[in-house]
Amino acid sequence: MTYCAGWKYKNSVCLLADAGAVNYVASVRHIAVDDESPDDMADGHVAASPLRLVALASGVAVAYAGDVELAGQLLAFLHEHQAHATSHRELLTRLTLELGPFDAAREVALLLAASSPEGEAELLHWTTADGLDASAADFHQIGTPTAHHSALTPELRGALAAGDLTTERLLPILTAVVQAHGEHVVSKGLQVGDLIFGLRTEHGAIAWQDDTHVVLYEPEFAFSTHVSVRARDHAIAAHSAFNNEVSVFAPAALAVTPAHTQRLDAWRRAVHAARDPDRFRLWVFISAGEKVVTLVIRNELERESRLVRVAGINQGKFDLSLSPELTGLLLRPLHNRDRGPVPLHLSVRED
């Protein structure tokens, strides 16, 4: 599976992508706090893989799909030349002129998102096959066609835009809705490679999605599993409760040997912090197969949540205590009293 999307919304651009394949490269012990594995970490490996979302400069980020090796070369070119280009359109045009023509068997697609301190925003689409997309579309999707590509319909985007959401709130809604369109089997866990995550660029700065806890559950909560993810220094660390493993997704230069990078301490802190699900600002609940999506936004982490509480933590797993209000939302059927069956139920609650 490969999925990336970009939406230019107001004076910002949201980029989201799946985490991608996972390659196990290092023991947990190599990046655990104080060089010791936490007691509730499994005896296994920490995974590291290239991240499909790459920050190029202040306010500029790229999402890519396709041949990973060629994409790395293209990103290196963009990083080297972006400071001297008169515009991002010129930069992508030079990509075609100076590095093309490209092998048809090694296709790559890029989404470039940029914003300026003055409030301007730009979303550009480029492929090795066709070069720069001349259209001024505000929404693009790239990657292998999957069920995720059917998530952000024009009707849904129109409804979200009509709600006049802030971009900070919009981003986790987009990733949650796309996540819900995956073909999840709760008994097999939510694999970190299937995780949908994102960033936004606004007023010349990049902001990653807040720390997020994704809970996948069966009807009546017969079984549930979760993945937690934190973004640090333009990379993400994800922990899966299903197999109690931690995966690191980083720019290609870091993904090969993250234990030998200068960001080692950041990885240690991120992996350690991922053990405490009560410290996540965003909680996303997804009913497997039914597309009932509930987003809980915690505004005060120092205060006990009134909607969801962690009752116990053991071997990377935990028991949830849910309020009656939240339980009612999670078990809500895909049926509208006036319109009958509906394809999606989306609820957002402030906590």
pLDDT in tens, 222-246: 667 778 888 877 878 777 776 667 7
Q: What are phi and psi of 7, to 5 degrees?
A: -135, 120
Report the pLDDT value the prediction gives residue 63, as an integer from 0 to 100: 94
Is the per-residue pLDDT at 128 higher than 90? yes
pLDDT band with cut points at 50, 70 and 90 for residue 8: very high
pLDDT band with cut points at 50, 70 and 90 for residue 320: confident
- Amino acid making up residue 39: D
Q: What is the mean pLDDT of residues 45-49?
A: 51
Report the pLDDT value the prediction gives residue 269, as an integer from 0 to 100: 55
Q: Among the ranges 51-60, 155-164, 202-211, which has the highest mean pLDDT value?
A: 202-211
Domains and CATH numbers, the chain: 4-350 (3.60.20.10)
- Amino acid making up residue 89: R
Is the per-residue pLDDT at 190 higher than 70? no
111 with 14: CB under 8 angstroms? no
pLDDT in tens, 204-224: 999 999 999 888 888 777 667
170 with 139: CB under 8 angstroms? no
Q: What is the mean pLDDT of residues 113-140?
A: 96
